[in-house]
Amino acid sequence: MNCYNCGVELTEHDFCTNCGADVVHYKKVISVSNFYYNDGLEKANVRDLSGAVVSLTECLKLNKFNIDARNLLGLVYFEMGETVDALSEWVISKNLKPEKNIADAYIESVQNSPSQLESLNQAIKKFNQALVYCSQGSLDLALIQLRKVLSVNPKFLRAHQLLALLHMHNEDWEKAKRELVKCNRIDIGNTRTHRYMKEVNAALNVDDGLKSSHKATKNEDVIKYQSGNETIIQPLAVKEPGKNYTGLLYLLGGVVIGLAVALTLILPGRLQSLKAQLNEESRSVGEQLDKKNTELTDMQKQLDALTAKNADLSSELEAYAGTDGTLQTVEDLLNAAYTYLDTPDDMEKISQALEGIDKDAMESDTISQAYKNLYDKLLETAGPGISKAYADSGNKAYKAGDYDTAIQDLEKAFSYDETNGDALYILGNAYKKKGDSKNAVKIYNQIIELFPNTEKARRAKDYLKELES
């Protein structure tokens, strides 16, 4: 353990023997951080990946410089199919410790397989499209997209969970259970998986109680089946007729004779009988209608209960779903990250990728903190280089008298690095040369405020006096 102030290795004393800093509380914080790291490591070893994420996140809250914990968190995310979160942690780790960091190997392994990287990128796009389909109510299309996602990235836990949720929505409980079993193999400690499995098992138990087991043998004239605790024995309704053509002829002859007798003797009495039967059937139909009405009432209650359950499931779906703007912003951010990893020295290409990101969308609640951290880290890492490139081009345009281009490039230069006082000073001069006194005064005052006691500030004061006179 090293001192937070001077970096010298600490001893058993409560103070740093080199700089004298009080390290009592610091040692306690580091100790607790190491406890969370060890706990996360143990959980990762038994594939309790969700628990590992929680412990490692707590570890990094206390000590963000714990490189081992950050690299392990990236591996856990990668094992859960969360490639973006994994790359974010490894990029942060690399920037905190540029030398002798195993994160280099992890990033390189992803970079050296362009086909795999592209497949993972496409899988993320397809998953996001599945979320869009869910929000639109196109669940069949969402199922198709999720199957494509899992064919490319079979460890993508969230995709398995969403697929299971859709099967639950369709009441296809067996398929839902198979997906949840896969989820449990990836992460045994995921609470969402366990909650879904509890609902699925409850549904399957209900169904099992409604099933009947039928038994019939070749030589039996009855059918036996089990309904609950009762055994029902029912005779066969119809026997298969034999193929006796002589009997068929006699039967046809009997039908002709019988028809003649019916017309002369039987028909009038039969009509009375049919009338009475019709009255009886009408009464029976009335009773059946009353019974059906009662059943419809019960079914309506069941429908109301299912509607409420569907609303709960829809809420779960909405937890996964995002908006088109959010999805596009995430895609643009990932593109910028991949551009930086592939061409870290091409500032023009990186700046174009960063400028394509919706800045307002990045501040919204629909963007997860992991994406926001990745965006901030990209700006922190690539910002100074981009700022210098824009400052050089802006200065060249300024010397050529192209003040509009100079203003545009110099504003970008300062937005990427607010310590670039030279870019800000030339920007003020460009506004002054253009005749825009209002903006020139604004920029000169900003120089005086941000860079006091410098030559740029002294000259800015002189220009202000000149403009105000």
Mean pLDDT of 298-323: 67
Which of the two residues, 363 and 72, has the higher pLDDT score?
72
Whether 29 shows a pLDDT value over 70: the answer reads yes
What percentage of the chain has pLDDT greater than the value 90?
A: 27
Q: For residue 56, what are the CA distances in angstroms to 50, 95, 310?
A: 10, 19, 35
Confidence of residue 423 (pLDDT cuts 50, 70, 90): very high
CB 79 within 8 A of CB 186: yes
Task: Provide mean pLDDT across the span 439-467.
Answer: 91
SS (H, E, C) 154-177: CCCHHHHHHHHHHHHHCCCHHHHH
Structural domains of the chain, with CATH: 24-112 (1.25.40.10), 325-468 (1.25.40.10)
Of the candidate ranges 76-80, 142-146, 302-306, 447-451, the one whose mean pLDDT is the lowest = 302-306
Predicted pLDDT at 213: 37
- The pLDDT value given to residue 314: 63
Q: Which of 1-15, 109-123, 256-270, 316-330 has the lowest mean pLDDT?
A: 256-270
Structure tokens at 213: 């087991």
Of 179 and 256, which is predicted with more confidence? 179
| Amino acid 364: pLDDT | 76
pLDDT above 70: residue 245:
no
The amino acid at residue 331 is E
What does the alpha-carbon distance between residue 357 and residue 179 come to, in Å, rounded to a whole number?
35
pLDDT at 53 over 90: yes
Q: What is the DSSP letter of 10?
A: P
User: Which pLDDT band holds residue 24 (cuts at 50, 70, 90)?
Assistant: confident
pLDDT tens-digit map of 247-297: 434 443 444 444 444 444 444 555 556 556 656 665 666 677 667 667 777
Does residue 243 carry a pLDDT above 50? no
- Look at residue 152 in the predicted model and tell me its pLDDT: 82
d(CA 204, CA 175): 11
pLDDT tops 80 at residue 357: yes
Q: Is the pLDDT of residue 360 over 50?
A: yes
Per-residue model confidence (pLDDT) at position 257: 42
> How would residue 325 be classed by pLDDT, with cut points 50, 70 and 90?
low
Going by pLDDT thresholds of 50, 70 and 90, the confidence category of residue 125 is confident
In 272-392, at which residue ranges do the beta strands (DSSP E only) sit? none
Lowest mean pLDDT among 95-109, 232-246, 411-425: 232-246
Span 1-27, average pLDDT: 76
Question: What is the rounded CA–CA span in Å between residue 149 and residue 71?
Answer: 25
Whether 204 and 184 have beta carbons less than 8 Å apart is answered as no
Identify the pLDDT of residue 75.
92
Angle between helices 49-62 and 67-79 (to 10 degrees): 150
pLDDT at 87: 84
**pLDDT score of 215:** 39
Average pLDDT over residues 176-202: 91
Q: Which of 60-64, 229-233, 401-405, 449-453 has the lowest mean pLDDT?
A: 229-233
C-alpha to C-alpha distances, 123 to 155, 261, 331, 444, nearest whole angstrom: 11, 80, 12, 50
pLDDT of residue 396: 94
Residue 122 token pair: 């496409």
Contact 377, 95 (CB under 8 A): yes
For residue 259, what are the contacts with CB-CB under 8 A and spacing of at least 6?
A: none
239: phi then psi, degrees, rounded to nearest 5: -105, 145
Read off the pLDDT band of 242 (50, 70, 90): very low
171: left (phi over 0), alpha (psi -120 to 50) or beta: left
pLDDT at 172 over 50: yes
Residue 11 has pLDDT above 90, yes or no: no
